[in-house]
A and B are shown apart, each in its own frame.
Chain A
Amino acid sequence: MRWIGAIILLVGMTAIGFEWARRLSQRSKQIRELTTALQHFEAEVMYGHTPLIHVANRISSTVSSPLSQFFKDFGTRLKEGNHDVQSAWQESIAINWDKTAMKIKEKEALLQFGQTLGQHGRYEQQKYIQLTLTHLRAEEINAREEQLRYERMAKSLGFLGGLLAIIVMI
């Protein structure tokens, strides 16, 4: 009985370690995807003159989940017509944020970006996109450093932590 408990503990702790590591790598991956999405956004604004609803739908089909869901929700809310852009953007972020691996700084950058959305001419809009991109790129570098530094450690720490707990308990 005791051994079964120990094995469950070990597996559980290892899983937690792996999940932590996955979040670290997911974060930088998602930020990268977000930067690509914003560049797509920029192209649609500058050269396509595409309205927001269409941009949101197009981007949502090119990125992977959970970001795709975020853009999809945003597009749906705009289409319904009873939201202004800012509230549609904020709500979509609020609903989908927990599913992403990103942190508060990325969220702040995105929320600020939402305040400028659709309110300006093309060149102003482009500047805001660039500003957000700069923020995100800085965060991406951070995220990648963290990933390099902690990813393997997180995996082994989970396993070793499990072992430690077993030793202590036995």
Chain B
Amino acid sequence: MSLMLKQSLELQSIKNIVALLPYQYHQELTSVLMNHFVQEIRLRPNQSIEVVLAGESFFLRNTLFNEADATFVLNQLSQHSIYAFEEELRHGFLTLRGGHRVGIAGEAVVEKGVVKTIKHIRTFNIRISRALEKVSVPYLQGLYEGRWKTSIIAGPPQSGKTTILRDLAKIMSNGYERLNIPPQKVAIVDERSEIAASFEGTPQHDVGKRTDVLDRCPKAEGMMMLIRSMSPNVIIVDEVGSEADIRAIEEAASAGVAVLCSAHAKSMNDLEARGIISSDTFEGILLLNDKKEGHFVHKKRGKL
């Protein structure tokens, strides 16, 4: 945590975030962002603006977020062009320059049981992102033994899976001399745009010098595309779960490419029940808990 608190936001980053909101909130928000470790800014119709810090939250006094404000925010987010962000609206979030993400909610338009888009968007959750350094170092000895092992990073939401994946990407592609880990070519399939948080194709987080990112691509297809196009040594994917994903990972592994992926899971049993670790491809599992602590389990040696 002490490591996180040191990371303050850059001024430019603050400006970008504040510019999303109507002018009358600029001054107050800027000072809040500069003086607190803000994790989220939440905007809800006819409510005050809520600022969420680590473990606590408060409302900005004398603010009332109305419908006109919501329209303003949406226009700023979409650069006045809803048509350009249809896909993002359907998924319920947009990525900003700087890697921050804005979750949205409103009225879903459903057609044949599938969410087509969201209209009357009134609720926003601006999630401030900060890159954390070296969070994966404690687990490197498990994940790397002369080569990167195909492994799963599992844990509940908010346990730091994506943060660890992002840090691993950087360590893999830059190398880590202290443990004699040489730099390698890394490819990321970033379906939810969460690992590298690309904005118009450019990663907004530092994911390393030798890293190629395929943004917003479905995982199974993306892995195959990257193997063919980028000849990576390691592939990183987020939130695998479907059978097609597992099959693609198996295929990648048989092509000699190590795959590191994350999965939502509370426990080992959870992973087993979903058939993820029954696959022989995985060599290890890094299990995280909601306090962001983890331990590494070797699959072939350790008994599961």
Tell me the A residues contacting B by CB distance below 8 Å: 45, 49-53, 55, 78, 81, 84-85, 117-122, 124-125
A51 contacts B84, CB within 8 Å? Answer: yes
Q: What does DSSP make chain B's interface, helix, strand, loop or mixed?
A: helix
Count contacts between A and B, CB distance < 8 Å: 47
Closest to B89 in A: A121
Closest chain A CB from B48 CB (angstroms): 24
Closest to B19 in A: A81
A49 contacts B80, CB within 8 Å? Answer: no
Closest to B90 in A: A121
Q: Which residues of B contact A124 (CB under 8 A)?
A: 83
B80 contacts A120, CB within 8 Å? Answer: no
List B residues 79-124 near A (Cβ within 8 Å): 79-86, 117
A49 contacts B83, CB within 8 Å? Answer: yes
Asked if B78 is at the interface of the complex by the 8 Å CB criterion, the answer is yes
A122 contacts B80, CB within 8 Å? Answer: no
Closest chain A CB from B68 CB (angstroms): 10
Contacts A/B (CB < 8 Å), 11 sampled: A49-B86, A51-B78, A52-B79, A53-B79, A53-B80, A85-B75, A118-B75, A118-B80, A118-B83, A120-B82, A120-B83
Closest chain A CB from B138 CB (angstroms): 41
Q: Which residues of A contact B79 (CB under 8 A)?
A: 51-53, 78
A118 contacts B86, CB within 8 Å? Answer: no
A125 to B78, CA, bound (A): 15
Q: Which residues of B contact A52 (CB under 8 A)?
A: 79-81
- Most chain A beta-carbon contacts within 10 A, residue among B71, B79, B80: B80
Tell me the B residues contacting A by CB distance below 8 Å: 19, 71, 75-76, 78-86, 117
Q: Which residues of B contact A118 (CB under 8 A)?
A: 75, 78, 80-83
A89 to B85, CA, bound (A): 21
A122 to B82, CA, bound (A): 8
A84 contacts B80, CB within 8 Å? Answer: yes
Q: Which residues of B contact A55 (CB under 8 A)?
A: 81
A122 to B117, CA, bound (A): 11
A10 to B220, CA, bound (A): 79
A129 to B84, CA, bound (A): 15
Closest chain A CB from B67 CB (angstroms): 14
A118 to B76, CA, bound (A): 12
Q: Out of A81, A84, A122, name the residue touching B83 (CB < 8 Å).
A: A122
Q: Which residues of A contact B81 (CB under 8 A)?
A: 50-52, 55, 118
Closest chain B CB from A21 CB (angstroms): 40
A31 to B78, CA, bound (A): 30
Q: Which residues of B contact A49 (CB under 8 A)?
A: 83-86
Q: Which residues of A contact B71 (CB under 8 A)?
A: 84
B83 contacts A125, CB within 8 Å? Answer: yes
**Which 3 A-B pairs have CB atoms at the shortest separation, nearest pair first?**
A51-B79, A51-B81, A122-B83
Q: Which residues of B contact A45 (CB under 8 A)?
A: 83-84
| A84-B117 contact given A52-B80, A121-B82, CB 8 Å threshold | no
Closest to A44 in B: B84
A85 to B81, CA, bound (A): 9
Closest to A117 in B: B80
Closest chain A CB from B96 CB (angstroms): 13
A60 to B86, CA, bound (A): 25
- Most chain B beta-carbon contacts within 10 A, residue among A81, A84, A121, A124: A121
Q: Which residues of B contact A121 (CB under 8 A)?
A: 82-83, 86, 117
A85 to B75, CA, bound (A): 9
A45 to B86, CA, bound (A): 11
A84 to B79, CA, bound (A): 10
A124 to B116, CA, bound (A): 13
Q: Which residues of A contact B75 (CB under 8 A)?
A: 84-85, 118
Closest chain A CB from B228 CB (angstroms): 24
Q: Which residues of B contact A117 (CB under 8 A)?
A: 80
A118 to B80, CA, bound (A): 6
Q: Which residues of A contact B117 (CB under 8 A)?
A: 121
